[in-house]
Structures are given as C-alpha cells and as structure tokens.
C-alpha cells in the first residue's frame, strides 16, 4: 500500500512543485506515494469564502477560523483515518530525522498549512494536531515547510533511494553531522583527497570518517555534540 499524503492549503498550485521531480517525482509516478491537495476556501460557508477573521482580544493580522478548518480536516481525514495530522507551525516541535523516520512508517500523513497570524487554538486542540517546525524562522505560510517535510519523508520510503544505505549514513542518523565527502579529480586547485580515503583500508577509513564527523559536530552543533556525548557515556 502506498504512502498517502493530503495537504490542506490556500495555495494548491504550490504542489507538487519540487516533489514532482527527482526521487520524489519518480516515486510518485511509480505509485510509491500519492499526493492530494485540498483548497481550504472550498469549505468556507459564506459568499466571500472567508477563511480568517480578526484575532480575539485585538492585535495585528488575521487568524484562520476553526470552523472552516474543521470542515476541511474532517473531509480530508475522518475520525477513523489513522494518518497523523500535522500543522506546520514555527512554534511547533523542531522536526528531527527520528520523527521523519517515524512518519515514513505511517500509512500517510495529513498536513495543514497555516497562513496569516496562525490557526485558532480550538481547532488545534479539537483535532489533536501535531505542530511541527522546520526551523527558528518565519515563512509566509506553511506550504514551503510542508514541501520540506514531505521531501524528507518520501526519500525514506522503501525503494525510493537506489542505495538503501544512503538513508542511514547521513547527518543526524547517528547523532552526528556527516563527515566530508570527496571524489575525482584527485587534486583540485592544489587540494588533494585525504590519503586515508585512497588507502583501501576500510577500518581506517571508517575511523577517519567518524573522527571527522565528531569534529564537525563539536565545532558547528554543540547542542548535538552534548547529546551525543551523553549517549556515548551511557553505552560505555
């Protein structure tokens, strides 16, 4: 059974976008996964097809209405639909590779793309939406974030990557950033490929790659390095 993604958005034309090319595009064409988009405005009940209103208590911007979004979500995913319901939100839990792997094991996913100042909290509570963030920055809407989420998931679906080990030998898979990579030519502008990578000694190569990954993580992501060291000490 293929992975089934449903995206609720005010801008359906943004999809599939980049998900229609490369690995994700070929996988969709092969039936490994499917993508459905729903126009949220189609579930509005007034003649103006309103999906938002002014925030209770005052303030700038507009808030997406709970009633309209509830109609859209209930149509996309009835109560017996087992797929996780995700709201792309800058205040959500940061997306991690571990969460992506877990979502790739699901039968699919329902993604709500927020706009304006946000979504009525009552809708989030009533429909038990999981808020997910792709970074500590603000986008104009949830659509670019949804594309990121879906791309991360689809590449992990069975058969999508030609080399299955590619998905396990990457940054974040073992708590570290990935080691540097090299290929031909052997020398580039005076810079040579490290000798160890040309040695044919796979044990030494693995040791070098681990050491480089640890060094990069310690330098660039002290948060990851702290967690990695704690985990390593537990295993000792």
Question: pTM of the full predicted structure?
Answer: 0.92
pLDDT of residue 1: 82
pLDDT of residue 160: 96
The CATH 3.40.1280.10 portion of the chain extends over 3-154
Q: How far is CA 220 from CA 213, 216, 224, 234, in A?
A: 11, 6, 9, 23
**222-235 helix and 202-220 helix, angle to the nearest 10 degrees:** 130
The CATH 1.10.1270.20 portion of the chain extends over 169-235
The CB-side HSE value for 81 (13 A sphere, CA atoms) comes to 18
C-alpha to C-alpha distance for 19 and 151, rounded to whole angstroms = 7
pLDDT of residue 181: 96
Average confidence (pLDDT) per 10 residues, the chain, 236 residues: 96 98 97 98 95 96 97 97 97 96 98 96 98 97 98 97 64 89 97 97 98 97 96 88
Assigned CATH topology for domain 3-154: Alpha/beta knot (3.40.1280)
- Please return the burial class of 41, using the count of CB atoms within 10 Å of its CB with bins 0-12, 13-18 and 19+: middle
pLDDT of residue 40: 98
**Across the beta sheet with 108-113, what order do the strands follow?**
33-39, 3-9, 108-113, 85-94, 130-133
pLDDT of residue 169: 63
Question: What is the CATH number that goes with domain 169-235?
Answer: 1.10.1270.20
pLDDT of residue 172: 83
């Amino acid at each position: 059974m293929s992975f089934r993604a449903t995206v609720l958005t005010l801008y359906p034309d943004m999809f599939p976008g980049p998900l229609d090319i490369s690995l994700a595009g070929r996988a969709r064409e092969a039936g490994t996964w499917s993508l459905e988009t729903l126009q949220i405005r189609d579930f509005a009940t007034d003649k103006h097809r309103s999906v938002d209103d002014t925030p209770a208590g005052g303030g700038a911007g507009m808030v997406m209405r709970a009633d309209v979004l509830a109609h859209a979500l209930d149509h996309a995913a009835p109560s017996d639909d087992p797929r996780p319901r995700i709201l792309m939100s800058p205040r959500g839990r940061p997306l991690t590779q571990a969460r992506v792997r877990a979502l790739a094991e699901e039968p699919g996913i329902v993604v709500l793309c927020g706009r304006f100042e946000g979504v009525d909290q009552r809708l989030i509570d009533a429909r038990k939406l999981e808020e997910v963030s792709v970074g500590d920055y603000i986008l104009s809407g949830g659509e670019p974030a949804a594309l990121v989420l879906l791309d991360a998931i689809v590449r992990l679906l069975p058969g999508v990557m030609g080399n299955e080990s590619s998905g396990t030998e990457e940054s974040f898979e073992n708590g570290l950033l990935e080691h540097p990579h090299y290929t031909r030519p052997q020398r580039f502008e005076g810079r040579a490929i490290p000798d160890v990578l040309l040695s044919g000694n796979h044990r030494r190569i693995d040791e070098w790659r681990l050491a480089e990954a640890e060094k990069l993580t310690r330098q660039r992501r002290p948060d990851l390095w702290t967690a990695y060291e704690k985990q390593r000490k537990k295993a000792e």
